[in-house]
A and B are shown apart, each in its own frame.
Chain A
Amino acid sequence: MTQSHPDTSGSRRSARIKSISASFVARVGLMAALALIFSYIEAIIPYNPGIPGIKIGIANVVTLIALYKFGTKDAVAVSVIRIVIAGLLFNGLFGMVYSLAGACVSLIGMILLKKTDRFSVVGVSMAAGVLHNFGQLLVAAALIEDLHIFFYFPVLIFSGIAAGILVGIIATLVLRSLKTV
């Protein structure tokens, strides 16, 4: 996925750049900034459920809106930009790897589920929440070279469902209001 790279050297490159319109750049920039703020708010809220990896993932509201309002390309761009910048700013490189893995799996899931056109935003979000946790767990297992970490799986499934539903409801409400704008 090519993002908004400013350099346009090389003819093959510029041909690809052409497909990225100014409105795409502006739109994605705006949404990525918004998602980043959500990430930040979530990072500074001092709530601690005592178990790691459990968070709401409010930033995914923006990803969902990007997906439903503007399509796959926007959603992928917004979440990748958000994760890279959030990683550099406050999550650290480690956090970035985890988030990217989670986002990768959950984006694929969201895109596929949306394609089937059988799920509502809440359902897609719920799947995304679980898949996100699953992706992170895979990375954790790979890092620690030990599958025992899967003892953690049930907790992550349930928290993923809960967080996903919450995010999905928020996204649904926002999308409804956006329609009238």
Chain B
Amino acid sequence: MKKYIRKADIILFFLLVACGLAATVVLSMSHTEAGRSARVVIESNGSEFAEYSLYDDVSLTVPAPKQNENYNVVEISKGKVRVTEASCKNQVCVKHGSISRTGETIVCLPNRLVVRIEDPEGGGYDTVTS
């Protein structure tokens, strides 16, 4: 056993932190304010289950792909989307809270549910370039 911490460790540490920061920046940049055309896409088990406007008022129960009584309740109101109820153990999707910007996602792994906000007309730069 040599030293507790060696030079390579420190380099690795900063590399990893830099990776994490870069990923954070990239991810937060990919989220833009949702425009009037924003859609809420609800996917179950990899295929689309339902789609709404972000400005609809909806409360929807999405059954999990694997029969048994698993489900998630997705609620859209006032331009915000959240999962209000889930049958899974970890309740991650419920604790995730509301999303309201394009590119944001709520995922429930046990029930294979993905809820995300998309803007078909593209926000900001995409509109300019197209």
Interface: B125 (CB within 8 A): no
Interface: B73 (CB within 8 A): no
> Taking each of B3, B23, B90, which has the highest tally of chain A beta carbons within 10 Å of its own beta carbon?
B23
B9 touches A126 (CB 8 A): yes
In the bound complex, residues from chain B placing their C-beta under 8 Å from that of A151 are 27, 104-105
> Quick one: closest B residue to A156, CB to CB?
B20
Count of A-B residue pairs with CB < 8 Å: 90
> Quick one: closest A residue to B17, CB to CB?
A161
Interface: B49 (CB within 8 A): no
The answer for the CA separation of A158 and B17 in the assembled complex, in Å, is: 7
Residue from A120, A144, A152 in contact with B9 in the complex, judged by beta carbons closer than 8 Å: A120
Distance from B130 Cβ to chain A, minimum over Cβ atoms (Å): 22
Interface: B13 (CB within 8 A): yes
- Given that A119-B6, A123-B12, A144-B114 are contacting pairs, would A153 and B23 also be in contact in the complex, using a CB cutoff of 8 Å? yes
The A147-179 residues at the B interface (CB cut-off 8 A) are 148-154, 157-158, 160-161, 169, 172, 175-176, 179
B95 touches A50 (CB 8 A): yes
- Given that A118-B8, A122-B4, A148-B105 are contacting pairs, would A154 and B110 also be in contact in the complex, using a CB cutoff of 8 Å? no
Q: Mostly helix, strand, loop or mixed at chain B's interface?
A: mixed
Distance from A144 Cβ to chain B, minimum over Cβ atoms (Å): 5
A123 touches B20 (CB 8 A): no
The answer for the CA separation of A150 and B24 in the assembled complex, in Å, is: 10
Residue from B16, B19, B92 in contact with A51 in the complex, judged by beta carbons closer than 8 Å: B92
Chain A residues with CB under 8 Å of chain B are: 50-52, 94, 116, 118-123, 126-127, 130, 140, 143-146, 148-154, 157-158, 160-161, 169, 172, 175-176, 179
| Cross-chain pairs A/B with CB under 8 angstroms, 14 sampled | A94-B110, A119-B9, A119-B12, A123-B12, A143-B109, A148-B105, A148-B116, A149-B105, A154-B20, A154-B23, A154-B24, A157-B17, A161-B13, A161-B20
